Structure 1
Amino acid sequence: MTSQSYIRSEMLGPTSPPISESGAFFWLKQNLFATPKDTVLTLIGLLALGWFLPPMINWLFIDAAWTGGGRGVCATVAQGGSQPEGWSGACWAFVGAKLDQFAFGRYPVDERWRPMLVAVLFVLLLAPMLIPKVPYKGINAILLFLVLPVVSFFLLVGGVFGLEHVETALWGGLMVTLILSFVGIVVSLPLGILLALGRRSKMPVIRILCTAFIEIVRGIPLITVLFMASVMLPLFMPPGMTVDKFLRALIGVSLFASAYMAEVVRGGLQAIPKGQSEGADSLGLSYWQKMRLIVLPQALKLVIPGIVNTFIGMFKDTSLVSIISMFDLLGIVRLNFSDANWASPVTPLTGLVFAGFIFWLFCFGMSRYSGFMERVLDRGHKQ
């Protein structure tokens, strides 16, 4: 066989274009109807949505009472409503009338500009902190985590600079939920890192103390921690000395979350290959330089889902402060069920749906942002 046998003497003819791998039809085929099993499950899901969704939409929106000034609005079926006789839609008029209390609790009406100002400052400092491309992250972090809490304390509590003193017993609603969550997140992450490092320490005393704290706190329900901080702690303090109840709740929630955070971080530390530490040692780095520059950045990146999951759990667990007579968002919503002016069969369910939606909104936001950060930090993989 001569070498000319491998030389093509004429051009190839045109080939058919590739099958389209984009568009709505391709997505449906790939994700919902790829196999007979997927097709059956998709049809069952569509039937379930067709069964549950229309009544839910009717109750939430079509038959709902949007305006009004009393329980009579919520206890009456809207004209032309689709619900069975004796039923009525959601009472959003109740939520609208109580919205200020749901946000601020019993905080004095004339002083509510103060928590609103704190909320604006929080958003203005948090937004650039969450956007990776915004510069000056160090200054931003100092303002958000150090300066803002001090400014917020004087603004919310008052008693200085001519501001009226507002005791924490009057705080409530979404304001309490966000304050407890923010302080818990800010305190639990660095404290959890220290506890995780302490549990892996080669010094027996530090290792035993950190391990004991983590295991004891993780073995106790949060409601017990809050009860102990509120009721039992004053019994061990000198006569005449007391600690603000809200501060006790802040400390209890922060310490409880830090124990769980420590185990999440420890899992990330154990996932780092030993060669990373050995390489840092070969460069002459100290222990804290090795942890700050080499080990912790890699470990925290690996456990972002676990960290955010702890934050989400802590955000929802703030509703347990009602055990110590403090009213977060859920607590203040339930407290308003006793208002005789709005007492109706649908008022409690409407309030709980509203509170559940607000909790879901914040938790979903944290979840989506954690996914965004995973993609940003995952430089070595194709997105």
Structure 2
Amino acid sequence: MLTAKFFSSFIDIPREHWQSLFKDLSLFCQYDYLLCLERSLCVGAESGWIPNHLVLYQQDTPVAAMPLYLKMHSYGEYMFDWNWAAAYQQQQVRYYPKLLSAIPFTPVTGQRLAVLDSANLAAADIVSALKSALTLQLKKFDASNFQCLFNEKQQSDDFAKQGLAQRQDIQFHWFNHEYLSFADFVAKLTARKRKSIHKERRALQAYGLEFRWLDGEQINNSDWQLFYRCYRQTYRKRSGHDGYLNLDFFLSLSKFLAENCRLLVVYDGERAIASALFFVHQNTLYGRYWGALEDIPGLHFEACYYQGIEYCIANQLARFDAGVQGEHKLNRGFEPVISYGNYLLADSPFKQAILDVIRRENVHYQTLLASNTLDSAYRKDD
């Protein structure tokens, strides 16, 4: 018999309970990362990300857990449902709140439901218990739906078998095929793509910029303050606000997750003009946030893509996840990959229509992958 317990703060969850389940999984599901978000108040009632984390117990032993939030909007999710919310609003039906299992402001695929290996419980039994607990929470909060975003494929398939509709999307990742250098990587691309990358990098070289990588233990408070200035200014220009994350969050990374942090600082002479934050975990480089104090053509592509590729090659990392946006990544050697979400919809006049939309989206993305529309930049003879 499994019992579900929901926690309104990470502080109330024994660290050893959470880490006994998530310690070998995604960095962004680790206790310390999620606690940094909460302690810095990047998540909480004011942000509209209200913690409601779920732990399943077998007697007193935690056997499964899931990061979970009660959401009052759809910002910071990256597998969006704004059209669904608008349809509800047009019919004067309340869409929010909803329940969401995702990493706030971080569209990174990972196992959302962690299960204790020694529990000897079938996946179907765990997911069935999860579904029952979530159904009760949907009723408790009068929520329109539960969403699990950027889940790993196997677990997403397990959820789908239990009636949680599977939704697909496309991201673009770079893979290290045992390259010896950046030149070795570029040589695998088509002539047109090689020429474009060389032209783009040469144009930026005219500015004489210097790119310096800092490992976690090298990053001090001044570096974080510079990064935050860059991050905030770019967000203001692009979105009209200061960004979802605050300086306290970034400073806390040096305390709790220093070994995973990499900071790229861009200098014009002795003056720092841009910075980008990356994480390293389980043979993968994650490009997460960046910003610039000056608008220089091509700097974003260099700092967020090419420098990351060079870092992966130099450090023999297998994969580079640079974020969600952009088919433009295809021209720079990134490859399309499917990302997955799952949905449990409360009964409403819109339920069937949303399920139909999800089915059509999935067919669209599968058709897109099967066509030449997302054909990669690599030569066909390799």
* Higher strand residue share: 2
Q: What TM bracket, shorter-length normalisation?
A: under 0.3
Q: TM-score, normalised by structure 2?
A: 0.27
TM-score w.r.t. structure 1 length?
0.27
Counting helix residues as a fraction of each chain, which structure ranks higher? 1
